[in-house]
Chains A and B, each alone.
Chain A
Amino acid sequence: MSILKDINSKVNPQFFEEHQRKIYQSLEDKHTTIEEIDSDDPLNSKMILNMGPQHPATHGVLRLVLQLKGEQIEKTKLDVGYLHRGVEKIAENKTYQEFMPYTDRMDYLSPYSNNVALCTAVEKLAQVEVPERAQYIRMIGCELARISSHLLWLGTMVMDAGAISFFIWTFKEREKIYDIFDQVAGHRFTVSHSRIGGVANDLTDSATGLIKEFINSFPNELADWHKLLDRNRLFIDRNENVGVLPTDQALDLGATGPVLRAAGYAVDQRIISPYLKYDQVDFEVPTRMEGDNLARYFVRMEEMQESIKIIRQCLEKMPKGPVRTNNAKQAYPSKDEVYYSMEGMIHDFMMTDTGICPPAGAECYHAVESPKGELGYYIQSDGTGHPWRLKINAPSFRNLQVLENILDGEMVADTVVIIGGIDPVMGEADK
C-alpha cells in the first residue's frame, strides 16, 4: 500500500479544511508528474512532514510541507499567510504619514529601511524637496538598519547551523545599534524616524558620538567573526553546496537582494537607480557566483563592511542645515512652531487630518535596497490624503518563492540552514 498515492485520504484537517486539502493536493501536483510509488517500502521512508508554522527555526510563522524520501526532500510547498494583516488595505484608509508606523512593523528587523522606502516614494509622488542633511541622516539610518538586520541573520543562521553562543555576540552588537536608534529617534525598535519631507529630528551630539564609536569598534568584531567562521570546517560543511540557486534560475525565480547577488547578479537599487545621496558615496556591491548558502554568508558579511564605509562617508559629507522641508503643506512643522504659533498649530492639525495630497491620477514606483533586497512601494493617488492603491513589493515574499524551489533535493537537516540563509521576515512576506 503506498503512502503517497493519495495524501488527502490520509489527512483529517480540523480547520480550514479546503485550504489544507488544497496544499496537499498541490504537493502531489508539483512538477506535474506523480511517480508511481513502490508499495514494498518496509521502512516507510516516504513521508509528508509539516514543518512549522510555530517553530522558531521556521523564522516566524512559516509552514513548510515537505515530501520526504528517507532524509531527502523530494518536493516542498510553502504555506504563508499566517501573519497576513492586510497592511495594503490599511494603507488605503490612512493618510501617508499615518501609515508610517505600520511600515516599521513590516520588516521589523530593519524598520528604518521601510520608513525610507515609503517616504521616498511619497516624496517622489508629491514632488517634495528634501534637505540634504535629512538625506544623509536617512542614509546613516538605512545602513545601520542593514547592519542590524544582517546581525540578526548571522546570529540565527549560525545558531541554525548549531552554534548557540554566536547569537549572543551578534546581539551584543545589535544592542549598540538599538542604543543609537534610541538616541536618534527616541525609540529602540520601531523607530518611525524618517518623515515625509525629512526626518523627525536632527542627530544629537551624543547620537553622533555613539555612531562614531560603533563604526570604529564594529569592524574589529566583524574581523573576529570572519576569523571564527570563514575557515571553520563545520560551518563550511554545513553551508557549502547547500541550497544552491543556479545563476540562470536566480532571475527567473525572481530572487532579490543578497540571494540574487550571491547567485552572480550585482543588482542593487543603490546602484541601478540611486536614491538619497547614494551616488555621492563610494561603495562596492559584494557579489558571488556560487549561489549556495556559503556565498550568501560572504555577501552579507561583506555588505556589513560596506555599510560601515558608507556611514563613515556620510558623517564626513553631511552638511549643516534643516532636516525637514520648510513647506507647511508638505511636512509636519516642528514642535516649537506647533506650541508657540497659531499657524504652526493649524498646519499640524491639517497635516494630521488630511496630510499631504499628491495630485489626482499621479502614480509612482520607488524601490530602495533594504537588507533583504528590493523593497518597492507603488502608489496611485486619487488626489486625497490617502493613497488609492499602495502596493508593497516585499523582498522576503519573492525570496520565499525561491526557497520553495531550491529546497527540492536537499537533505531535511539542511532545511533550517537554508531558511536561515534566505533570511525571510514573515512580517514583510505576509504583509
Chain B
Amino acid sequence: MSLELTESVQKLVDGLTESYSEKLIEVYNASGHTYIRVEADALLDIVKFAKEEYHFIFLSDIIGVDRYTSEERFEVLYNILNLRTQDRIFLKVRVPEEEPVLESLFSVYRSANWLEREVYDMFGIRFNNHPDPRRVYMPDDFQYFPLRKEFPLLGIPGSIELPNTTPDTE
C-alpha cells in the first residue's frame, strides 16, 4: 500500500488485516486522518479490538451521514482517539435504508450513549442494546428524522405541537 500512516495507525491496520481481513473494506487517508471502512456486523468486535489491543480509548464523536443513494444509504463514522500516540482514526460503516440497525458501542465506551441517541434522532438509525434509546433533541412525539436529505429545510407544518396559550387552570 502506498498509504502513509502513522506508526500506531499502521499497527492497528496490520492487526485488523490479520484478524479481520474479510471484514475490512477499505483504508484511506483524507485531510490528514485515516478512515477505515468495515462491515457493519463486525463493528463492535473491531472497536473492542482497537480499544483493548491498540489503546484507542477515547470515543470523540459519532457522525451520521445520509448518502442519499439507493443502496447503503446511511454512513456512520466513529471518531476514535489513541491518547498515547494522539492518533485519530475514523471507523466507517454503512447501513441500508430499510433496516438501519447497528450494534451499540455503549458496552465499550459509555460516551456512546448520547452520541448514538443523536444519530438516531437525526437519521433514524437504531442501535441494538442501547441502554436509553430515546431521542435527544427532538421530542419523542416527533415522527420525522430532520437530517435526512428528504426532510424539507422549512420543516413539516404541524409536525411539532405548540403549547396552548391559555395557562393551566387546575
Contact = CB atoms under 8 A, between A and B. Distances in A.
A252 B140 contact: no
B113 interface: yes
A376 B88 CA distance: 12
B65 A401 contact: no
Contact of B146 (A89, A251, A393): A89
Interface in B10-52: 30-33, 35
A32 B64 CA distance: 28
Interface stretch (A3-11, A211-219, A220-228, A362-370): A362-370
Nearest to B63: A391
Contact of A15 (B65, B110, B113, B161): B161
B5 interface: no
Interface residues of A, number: 53
Interface in A13-55: 14-19, 22-23, 26, 29-30, 32
Interface size class of B (residues with CB under 8 A): 35 or more
Interface string B120-143: 001000000001101111111100
A265 B90 CA distance: 22
B81 to A, nearest CB: 8
Contact of A374 (B32, B60, B63, B138): B60
B57 A251 contact: yes
Contacts of A388: 65
A14 B83 contact: no
B137 A14 contact: no
Contacts of B63: 378, 389, 391
A267 B137 CA distance: 28
A251 B83 contact: yes
25 contacts: A14-B168, A15-B163, A16-B139, A16-B140, A18-B139, A19-B139, A22-B140, A81-B138, A84-B137, A86-B146, A88-B122, A88-B147, A89-B151, A93-B153, A251-B57, A254-B115, A365-B79, A366-B31, A378-B77, A380-B65, A389-B66, A391-B64, A397-B118, A400-B114, A431-B137
Given A16-B139, A18-B140, 12 more contacts: A14-B168, A84-B138, A86-B146, A88-B122, A93-B153, A273-B88, A366-B31, A367-B60, A374-B60, A376-B79, A405-B110, A430-B137
Interface of A: 14-19, 22-23, 26, 29-30, 32, 80-81, 84, 86, 88-90, 93, 124-125, 249, 251-254, 256, 265, 267, 272-273, 362-367, 374, 376, 378, 380, 388-389, 391, 393, 397-398, 400-401, 405, 430-431
